[in-house]
Structure 1
Amino acid sequence: MVVSDSINLLIVIVLIAATAFFVAAEFAMVKIRESKIQQLINEGNASANKAMHVINNLDGYLSACQLGITLTALGLGWIGEPTVAGLVEPLLTSLGLGKQAVGIVSFLIGFSTISFLHVVVGELAPKSLAIQRAEGVALFVSGPLIWFHKIMYPAIWLLNGAANTLIRWVGLRNIGEHQGIHSEEEIRMLLLQSHEGGEINQSELELTSNIFEMNEKIAVDIMIPRTSMVCMFDDLPIEKNFEIIAQEQFARYPVCLEDKDHIIGYIHTKDLLTICLRNEKITSIKQFYREPLFIYEFTPAVEILQQMQKQRKQLAIVLDEYGGTAGVVALEDVLEEIVGEIEDEYDIDDVPPVFELGAGHYSIDARESIIDVQQILNITMETENIHTLGGWFINQYRGKLEKNAEILHEGYRFKVVEIEGNSIFRFEVKAEQTDEVAPIL
Structure 2
Amino acid sequence: MSDDSRQTPPEAAGRGLSHWLSHFLDRLGLRGGGTIREDITDALAQGSGQLADLSAQERAMLSNVLSLRERRVGDVMIPRADIIAVPADATLDEVLARFRTAGHSRLPVFDDSLDDPRGMVHIRDFLEFIAGQAKAEPTTGLSEPALHDLAAVDLTRTLADTKIMRPVLYVPPSMPAVDLLVRMQATRTHIALVIDEYGGTDGLVTIEDLIEIVVGDIEDEHDLEEAPTIAPEGEGRFTADARATLDELKQATGIDLSDDPVAEDVDTLGGLIVTLAGHVPAKGEIVAGPGGLSFEILEADQRRVKRLSIVQRSSADEDGDRPAETG
Match of 2:270 among 390, 403, 411: 390
- Residue 419, structure 1, aligned to residue 299, structure 2: yes
Query: Is 2:109 the counterpart of 1:228?
Result: no
Aligned-residue CA RMSD (Å)? 4.3
Summarize the Cα distance change of 1:408–1:329 in structure 2 as closer, same or farther, 3 Å threshold.
Answer: same
Select 2:159's aligned residue among 242, 263, 285.
285
Deviation track 1:117-140 (CA, whole Å, cap 9, x = no partner) reads xxxxxxxxxxxxxxxxx89xxxxx
Q: What is the Cα deviation at residue 264 of structure 1?
A: 0.6
1:406: Cα distance to partner?
Answer: 4.9
Q: Of residues 99, 122, 128 in structure 2, which corresponds to 1:268?
A: 122
Measure how far apart 1:213 and its partner are: 5.0
Unaligned runs of 5+ in 2: 1-20, 136-152, 316-327
Question: Which of 148, 152, 173 does residue 297 from structure 1 map onto?
Answer: 173
2:190 is the counterpart of 1:314: yes
Question: How many Å apart are 1:241 and its aligned residue?
Answer: 1.9
Q: Any idea what SS the aligned residue of 1:254 has? A: strand
> Given the superposition, is the C-alpha separation of residues 322 and 333 from structure 1 closer, same or farther in structure 2, using an over 3 Å criterion?
same
Per-residue CA shift, 1:258-316, capped at 9, x if unaligned?
A: 22111111000011122334434464433111010011222232222222122211111
CA contact under 8 A between 2:299 and 2:305: conserved in structure 1? yes
Superimposed CA distance per residue, residues 177-210 of structure 1 (whole angstroms, 9 cap, x where no aligned partner): x724487698266356148984432222332343
Q: How many percent of aligned residue pairs carry the same amino acid?
A: 25
- TM-score with structure 2 length normalisation? 0.63
Does residue 219 of structure 1 match 2:64? no
Q: Aligned letter for 2:201?
A: T
1:26-425 map, 5 Å:
35=23, 179-181=33-35, 187=41, 190-191=44-45, 193-194=47-48, 198-212=52-66, 214-278=68-132, 279-280=134-135, 281=153, 283-286=157-160, 287-351=163-227, 365-368=241-244, 380-381=258-259, 386-397=266-277, 401-402=281-282, 403=284, 405-409=286-290, 413=293, 415=295, 418-422=298-302, 423-425=304-306
In structure 1, distance between residues paired with 2:232 and 2:42: 26
Deviations 1:97-127 (A, max 9, x none): xxxxxxxxxxxxxxxxxxxxxxxxxxxxxxx
* Equivalent position amino acid for 2:180 in 1: I
1:229-272 deviation digits (Å, cap 9, x = unpaired): 21111122222222212222310001111221111110000111
Measure the CA separation in 1 of the matches of 2:209 and 2:102: 17
Distance 2:212 2:307 in 1: 20
Any idea what the Cα deviations from partners look like across 1:336-358, whole Å, max 9, x if unmatched? 22222222223215435577889
Q: Secondary structure at the match of 1:265?
A: strand
Q: What code does the residue aligned with 1:217 have? A: R
Q: Show CA shifts across 1:155-192 (max 9, x none).
A: xxxxxxxxxxxxxxxxxxxxxxx724487698266356
How far is the alpha carbon of 1:380 from its aligned partner?
Answer: 2.0
> Size of the alignment, in residue pairs?
265
Q: Which residue of 2 aligns with 1:4?
A: none
Task: Please report how far the alpha carbon of residue 328 of structure 1 lies from its aligned counterpart in structure 2 after TM superposition.
Answer: 1.4
Rg comparison, structure with higher value = 1
Partner AA of 2:96 in structure 1: F
Tell me the TM-score normalized by structure 1.
0.49
